[in-house]
Chain A
Amino acid sequence: MYVEKGVKKLAPIVEMKGIYKEFPNVVALNHVDFSLEKGEIHALIGENGAGKSTLMKILYGIYDQDEGTVKINGEEKNISDAREAMRLGIGMVHQEFMLAETMTVLENIILGFEPNKHKLLDYDKAYSEVMDYSEKYGFEIRPNSKVINISVGEAQRVEILKALYRGAEVLILDEPTAVLTPQETEELFKIIRSLKENGKTIIFISHKLDEVLEIADRITVMRKGNKVETLSQNDATKEKLAYLMVGREVFLDFEIEENEPGDRILEVKNLNVFGRRKLSNLKDVSFEIKEGEILGVAGIDGNGQTELVEALTGLRKVESGEIKIRGEEITNKSPLEIRHHGVSHIPEDRNKTGLCKELTIQENLIANKLPDDPYSSKIGIINFKRVKNFAEELIDKFDIRPPKTDVKMQNLSGGNAQKVIVAREVAEDAGLIIASQPTRGIDIGSIEFIRSVLLDERKAGKAVLLVSADLEEILSLSDRIIVMYEGEIQGTLDIEEANENNLGLMMTGGNPDFKGGVTA
């Protein structure tokens, strides 16, 4: 239980002292102390690359610290691997999920810890055990559906259940809400609260300060490998946290200048596309974007936004309809031809599509230039000096850390990896920028930066198609908003008439008065 001051204190359930961890290029953790009381919800915040995931991976036995000690319930432990961590009652849900897609939810949960009867897998027992857990904590899951068919929110609940099933008392959630819609986040919070009521202890990592203030009992702030402060929720405000994290004040309310839209850049007419699931088939989608305009695409994940972006960028076949850039047909052209028409693309899945983690930062930064080779001689010999200069410029401008051109991408923190992608796509002087979840998993300082980059592009007369699950982002940047529901455009709103309520309603298929405005 969370022990009030004055009462004789139990040893903290987790106590990390003087943790030091160095990677080849950076000191990821510089003598960090972290202590966790039983039964609390403890938020861990900090800029990208501050060392949050690394600290937690040390606790979970994935990395070994170079210096420092870890005590569990007052006893010093050497946590050599994740299995050992599990045995000590520590569970972790990673930034990226680790489920086997072709297996069912139930199979994923019990994998490696299967109950058996006479050496045979006892499915009935497993099923009832899992259902017990899900009732106790208020999970909504369908144990027999294949993981590939479930939503992100559900996948996350499965990950949490998996950890609980393995006996987790302390549950580490590394940026669990980065991939969730507001509704799903609410559900997650209900679960977290009921876990707390049942005596579990939660570590919650997030970049979203509102969430942190809503759910956490205590908050630890990290900056550049150091622990800055641990404060209780009562002492924290959004401004204070942002200041502690970044070391300066942060402004997310942008002054958006009036901007008279120019010529039409993108025109989409009656687009029909087969999607991953039936609900995400695009049906007769039509819209347009003009120069100097940001068009927001709102919607719950999986309602055709992904397919729309893929069709526009040549990564998915269009069944019928037209896509034109400045009047020229680009329907079903190759990604390269579409890029040649002045379209750049920040993809939603950064790890699978947006970058190549085995290659270096500089190699990733020039990747979209390869087909035209401005950094190499006529016969294709790379001029490394020019590549390096170009990369250093972008690293500097986008504050990518570590600021080294030849570090492999796999060693970057999530937010820094995203910055590499944004830098690459914005550096291309394209007329249309298709930005899919551009600030997902990014710290507040970088969000500020990336949003201001997009607004600068708008000012420079570029068009931006902004797909985001974050309504606040859509509302603060867009000139107009289209809402997608089940593969169709549910409606179009001007920024003046849009708010969280009517957007939220339309995103769930509701039909406010504005229905019908398919083109603007």
Chain B
Amino acid sequence: MNDKLRDFLYERQSLLNVFIAVFTAMIVGTLVIYFMGYDILESYEALYQGAFKGRFNFGGTLERFVPLLLSGLAFAVASKASIFNIGVEGQLYFGAITAAFFGYIIKGVPSLVHIPVTLLLAAAAGGLWAVIPGFLRAKYNVNEVTTTIMLNYVAIFFVGYIVNHPFKNPNVGVPQTPNVQPTARLPKIMLPSRANIGIFIALALLVFFIWLLNKTTFGYKVRAVGFNPFFTDYVGVKSKLIMVLTMFLSGAIGGVLGGVEVLGIHGYVLDNFSPGYGFDGIMVGLLARNNLKALPFVAFFLAALRSGAINMERFTGVPKEVIGVIEAVIILLAAAEVIVEIKKRKSSDKGGVEVG
């Protein structure tokens, strides 16, 4: 068999697994809807229409697609270096508050300058925040899962303080920052929905990272460090530096995510504004098995589900939490598959199957 064909089949196989997971989850969802006494066909039709029918609905799907894709990308990039970045949530808060600040404070420049500068600064903020757990992991071997989770709280409360006190919009009663300048807002692409050019930014980042990981020496080093740090140390790659840099990049993607949400959707930062975008990325990354090329499909599917669910609830009364059930099943299956994968890899490492 030729190699291209084999790689293709391999990728197909992983896509197939995704479909199996999704399909099973949908069946569970269907059963739930059925036993709650709703009409299945009607519910799914409402779901479908809510996700795709009309500019507003489809725009709603695209709008949800962006954070899912970016947080999935952030998670997947870190995991290429074997780092489990659970801290995207905190990184996006730092990106968001930075974007809100520079979107507001910079005045009198055209959008073409204002938007990129603001997003770059947001990326830097998210990246630097992620460097802390990256450094602790690389230098002192402190488990990054623990540190990123803890730092999420620090980030959320820190931003909470900022929007309540020093940077609160005095004209409104709720804790939120002043609106950013109109020049910083991301142009909408599908009015009346809130979908905006953030989607192009997200896709461009995805393409960039696919390229970076596969075509550059830096990407090679990241993958090699993720696979076998003893090997990279031995050939003279600075494994620890690579880990920290990878964490910076992962955090930077989180920062951009925060920035895109602020400049594209809200125009300001509200206390506790994220419904857990950062954590969604873990699900997206797991389901795509950190295969960057699979990320957009997974993110789009989940975005459509969530967007359609609102419509479904409105027209058929099926609570949109049903989608939460479906997502939970998907996560369980995806996680189970990862575990099986790891076990398989361990036993083949040793040249065989352990008996016992």
Contacts and interface: CB of A to CB of B under 8 A. Distances in A.
Interface of A: 24-25, 53, 57, 60-62, 81-83, 86, 92, 94-98, 111-113, 166, 174, 313, 315, 334-336, 339, 345, 347, 351-359, 363, 367-368, 370-371, 373, 376, 379-382, 384, 404, 406-407, 410
Given A363-B220, A382-B216, A82 B235 contact: no
B217 A382 contact: yes
Contact of A404 (B3, B218, B233): B3
Interface stretch (B29-37, B133-141, B154-162, B345-353): B345-353
A24 B6 contact: yes
B350 A356 contact: no
Contacts of B351: 53, 57, 94-96, 98, 174
Contacts of A53: 351
Contacts of A406: 3
B315 interface: no
Interface in B210-228: 215-218, 220-221, 223-224, 227-228
A335 B236 contact: yes
B356 A111 contact: yes
A57 B352 contact: yes
B244 to A, nearest CB: 16
A269 B280 CA distance: 57
A107 B185 CA distance: 65
Nearest to B5: A24
B195 to A, nearest CB: 34
B280 to A, nearest CB: 28
Interface in B1-54: 1, 3, 6
Interface string B289-300: 000000000000
B237 A371 contact: yes
Contact of B355 (A25, A83, A376): A83
Tell me if A's interface is mostly helix, strand, loop or mixed: loop
Nearest to B355: A82
B221 to A, nearest CB: 6
Contacts of A381: 215-217
A53 B350 CA distance: 13
A112 B221 CA distance: 39
B230 interface: yes
B14 to A, nearest CB: 15
A371 B216 CA distance: 12
Given A354-B234, A359-B224, A370-B220, 14 more contacts: A25-B3, A60-B352, A82-B355, A92-B352, A112-B356, A339-B235, A352-B231, A357-B227, A359-B227, A370-B217, A371-B237, A373-B217, A384-B215, A404-B3
Contacts of A313: 234
B345 to A, nearest CB: 9
A365 to B, nearest CB: 11
Contacts of A83: 355
Nearest to A98: B350
Contacts of B341: none
Contacts of A60: 352
Interface string B325-346: 0000000000000000000000
A410 B348 contact: yes
B238 interface: yes
Nearest to B228: A356
A221 to B, nearest CB: 22
A380 B223 contact: no
Nearest to B234: A353
Nearest to B229: A356
A359 B222 CA distance: 12
Tell me if B's interface is mostly helix, strand, loop or mixed: helix
Contacts of A351: 349
Contact of B236 (A61, A339, A352, A373): A339
B69 to A, nearest CB: 25
Contacts of A112: 355-356
A118 to B, nearest CB: 22
B349 to A, nearest CB: 8
B306 to A, nearest CB: 35
9 contacts: A24-B3, A95-B351, A336-B236, A353-B234, A357-B227, A357-B228, A358-B223, A371-B237, A410-B348
Nearest to B10: A24
Contacts of B355: 82-83, 86, 112, 166
B230 A96 contact: no
A496 to B, nearest CB: 36
A370 B221 contact: yes
B227 A358 contact: yes
A53 B352 CA distance: 11
Contacts of A357: 227-228, 349
A367 B235 contact: yes
A98 B352 CA distance: 9
A359 B61 CA distance: 38
A94 B352 contact: yes
Given A112-B355, A356-B228, A371 B218 contact: no
Nearest to A368: B235
A24 B1 CA distance: 6
B234 A335 contact: yes
B236 A355 contact: no
Contacts of B218: 380
A384 B185 CA distance: 41
Contact of B216 (A61, A62, A95, A376): A376
A64 B336 CA distance: 25
Contacts of B232: 356
A347 B234 contact: yes
Interface in B169-184: none
Contacts of A384: 215
A416 to B, nearest CB: 15
Contacts of A370: 217, 220-221, 235-237
Contacts of A355: 231
Nearest to A166: B355
Contacts of A336: 236-238
B223 A371 contact: no
A166 B352 CA distance: 17
A354 B231 contact: yes
